[in-house]
Structure 1
Amino acid sequence: MAHATDLILSSSSRLLTLYSPPPLQNAHQLPLPPGSLVSAIAADSSDNTQTLFPFLDSDATAPTRLLLLLLKRVVSGVQPTGSIHLGNYLGAIKNWVTLQDTYETLFFIVDLHAITLPYDVQELRKATRDTAALYLACGVDISKASVFVQSHVRAHVELMWLLSSSTPIGWLQKMTQFKEKSRKEGGENASVSLLTYPVLMAADILLYKSDFVPVGEDQKQHLELARDLAQRVNNLYGGRKWKKLGGRGGSIFKIPEPLIPQVGARVMSLTDGLSKMSKSAPSDQSRINLLDSKDLIADKIKRCKTDSFAGLEFDNAERPECNNLLSVYQIVSGKTKEEVMEECKDTSWGTFKPLLADAVIEHLSPIQVRYEEITAEAAYLDKVLSEGADRATEIAESTIHNLKQAMGFYL
Structure 2
Amino acid sequence: MNRIFSGIQPTNQLHLGNYLGALRNWVRLQDTAENFFCVVDLHALTVPQDPESLRRSTREVTAAFIAAGIDPERSVIFAQSTVPGHAELGWLLGTLTPMGWLNRMTQFKEKSGKHREESGLGLYSYPVLMAADILLYKGTHVPVGEDQKQHVELARDIAGAFNRRYGVEYFPLPEPVIQGQAARIMSLRDGSKKMSKSDESDYSRINLTDDADAIALKFRKAKSDSDNLPDTKDGLTGRPEAENLITIYAALSEQSVDQVVAQFAGSQFSKLKTELADLAVEKLAPIGARMRELMSDQAELDRLLKLGTERAAAVANPILRGAQDLMGLVR
Q: Which residue of structure 2 lines up, in the alignment, with residue 84 of structure 1?
A: 14
Instruction: Provide the C-alpha distance between the structure 2 equivalents of 1:407 and 1:320, rounded to a whole number of angstroms.
Output: 51
Amino acid at match of 2:287: I
Change (3 A) 1:83 1:314: farther
SS in 2 for 1:262: coil
Question: How far off its partner does 1:111 sit?
Answer: 0.5
Match of 2:305 in 1: 385
Q: Which residue of 1 aligns with 2:217?
A: 299
Amino acid at match of 1:286: S
User: 1:134 is matched with which residue?
Assistant: 64
**Aligned residue for 1:261?**
179
Match in the other structure for 2:165: 236
- 1:212-267 per-residue CA deviation (whole Å, 9 max, x = no partner) reads 1101111111111111111111111133xxxxxxxxxxx11010111111311111
User: Which structure carries more relative contact order (alpha carbon 8 Å, separation 6+)?
Assistant: 2
Match in the other structure for 1:41: none
Query: What secondary structure is seen at the aligned counterpart in 2 of 1:261?
Result: coil
1:161-211, Cα deviation, whole Å (9 max, x unpaired): 001101111211221110011115x22111111101111111111111111
> Residues 209 and 289 of structure 2 are in contact (CA less than 8 Å); yes or no, is this contact kept in structure 1?
no
Partner of 2:52: 122
Residue in 2 that maps onto 1:327:
247
Task: Decide which structure has the larger Cα Rg and report it.
Answer: 1
TM-score of the superposed pair, with normalisation by structure 1: 0.77
Structure 1 residues 168, 317: CA separation in 2 closer, same or farther (over 3 Å shift)? farther
Q: How many residues align?
A: 329
- 5 Å-filtered alignment, 1:1-400, equals 71-183=1-113, 186-239=115-168, 251-312=169-230, 314=233, 316-400=236-320
Measure, in 1, the Cα distance between the counterparts of 2:314 and 2:190.
44
Q: Could you tell me how far apart the structure 2 residues matched to 1:262 and 1:134 are?
A: 20
Query: What is the CA-CA distance between 1:338 and the residue it aligns to?
Result: 4.0
Paired residue secondary structure (1:347):
coil
User: Aligned to 2:284, what secondary structure does the other structure show?
Assistant: helix
Conserved 8 A contact 1:314-1:326: no
Deviation at 1:122, TM superposition (A): 2.3
Does the Cα contact within 8 Å between 1:91 and 1:216 map onto a contact in 2? yes
* TM-score, normalised with respect to structure 2: 0.95
Q: Which has the higher mean CA deviation after the structures are superposed, 295-304 or 395-404? A: 295-304
**Which one-letter code corresponds to 2:308 in the other structure?**
G
Q: Provide structure 2 residue ranges, at least 5 long, that are not aligned to the other structure.
A: none
- Superposition deviation, residue 268 in structure 1: 1.1
Q: Which moved more, 1:313-322 or 1:129-138?
A: 313-322
Q: 3-state DSSP class of the match of 2:309?
A: helix
Q: Does 1:405 align with 2:315?
A: no
Q: Which letter maps to 1:218? A: D
